[in-house]
Amino acid sequence: CQDNINNSPNNISSNSSLKTTEVLKNDQPETSFLPRSLLSTFKRIKKELDPEAEEDVIKKFRKSKVKTITSVRFILLLILVPLLMHQLSKITFVGYLVDRFLPVSSQQEEIFINRDLEEEALMELRKYEEELHFQMYLGQAPELFPELYEAGKEISEIPKLEREELIEHKVEEKAQEIASEYKNRSNNAVKNIFCDLISLITFVGIISTNRRDVEILKSFMDDVIYGLSDSAKAFILILLTDMFVGFHSPHGWEVILENVAKHFGVAESRDFNFLFIATFPVILDAVFKYWIFRYLNRSSPSAVATYKNMNE
């Protein structure tokens, strides 16, 4: 009994080694006395000699053609329909409601939706007034005051007080013109908020009601992306990373933030811009690297190697 007990660990270890050997044998691919390239060549020749091969090729081509047409049509649908809804809603009911009910639409209320627009309007008016004085000093003021030509007067013949009154009258006209322009800009900023929301709802609605087209588009994009060469994939990766998270990307992000603020009529905040530029590209860079490590490294390791070599 004692011998059996002593031999049991040896039996267990031998059994485990046998199982490991069997697993390794099962994991190893089956080998043949013919080279794999030769076997694949035979399979290709057999497939080409198949009488149904031509029909299969035609079916694949037609399927690819339908996929391409459906994908392009769906992309145009995703782009054009939200843009069309944005413009139609701004022209029709959104524009009417904003012009009728918002305070910035009333002449008795505030003209500017934020302080930045007011400062911009004041700078424009000040520049116009300085230009009038400058043209007056150069003797070119009659071009700005056609009534002087009609009266047959020269600048030197006009008393200084009358000249100042003419300039003040022109500045008042320009102030009314600027006020009307910036009132429309303030209204447009409010309209953009509602119209963009309508466009977003339209975009989401198109995606949610066309699941089949979404799947076809995903398959089409996979075929396009993974059909690129390794050098093309690496070039696109370098282009995107340098554009959005590269050394010169903060200037581009700053321009984007300024235009977004103007689009929605929000006062520009330098602190927010600096904070966004300091954090968002870093997060985006981490997402890029995780995607490369997690997915692209598995699906196309040669593209990752090419990307690293080109990036260095």
3-state SS string for 79-125: HHHHHHHHHHHHHCHHHHHHHHHCHHHCCCCCCCCCHHHHHHHHHHH
- CB of 188 within 8 A of CB of 105? no
What proportion of the chain, given as a percentage, has pLDDT over 90?
24
How large is the average pLDDT for residues 60-86?
92
| pLDDT surpassing 70 at residue 196 | yes
Give 3-state DSSP helix, strand, coil % of the chain, rounded to 5: 85, 0, 15
CA distance to 121, 139, 175, per residue, from 164 (Å) = 22, 14, 16
71, pLDDT greater than 50:
yes
Per-residue pLDDT at 311: 67
Q: Who has greater pLDDT, 17 or 185?
A: 185
Q: Establish how many alpha carbons lie within 13 A of residue 34's alpha carbon, considering only the half-sphere containing its beta carbon.
A: 7
pTM exceeding 0.75: no
Share of the chain above pLDDT 70, in %: 72
Residue 310 belongs to a domain = yes
* 306/302 Cα distance (integer angstroms): 6
Distance set, CA 123 to CA 35, 171, 281 (Å): 81, 13, 34
**What would the two tokens of residue 206 be?**
């198109």
Give the integer Cα–Cα distance in Å for 112 and 121. Answer: 9
Query: Are 201 and 94 in contact, with CB atoms under 8 Å apart?
Result: no
Radius of gyration of the chain measured on its C-alpha atoms: 36
Q: How far apart are CA 5 and CA 220, in angstroms?
A: 65
Residue 197 pLDDT greater than 70, yes or no: yes
Asked if 154 and 160 touch (Cβ cutoff 8 Å), the reply is no
Reported as a single tens digit per residue, the pLDDT across 257-273 is: 999 998 988 888 889 99
- pLDDT, tens digit, 9 for 90 and up, residues 27-45: 444 454 445 556 667 666 7
Encode pLDDT of 222-267 as tens digits.
888 888 888 888 888 888 888 888 877 888 899 999 999 989 888 8
For residue 96, pLDDT beyond 50: yes
pLDDT of residue 74: 95
- Give the amino acid at 230: D
Pair of tokens at residue 61:
């081509």
pLDDT in tens, 268-305: 888 999 999 999 989 998 998 888 888 777 777 777 78
- Distance CA(263)–CA(255), nearest Å, equals 12
Name the packing angle between helices 160-209 and 115-137 (round to 10°). Answer: 140
d(CA 289, CA 225): 18
Alpha carbon distance 298, 69 (integer Å): 30
Residue 236's contacts (CB-CB under 8 Å, 6 or more residues apart) are 228
Task: Please state the domain count of the chain.
Answer: 1
Q: Is residue 29 in some structural domain?
A: no
Q: Which amino acid, residue 55? A: E
Residue 16 in any domain: the answer is no
Helix extents (H) in 138-229? 141-144, 146-151, 160-209, 211-226
Query: What is the span of the domain harbouring residue 301?
Result: 228-312
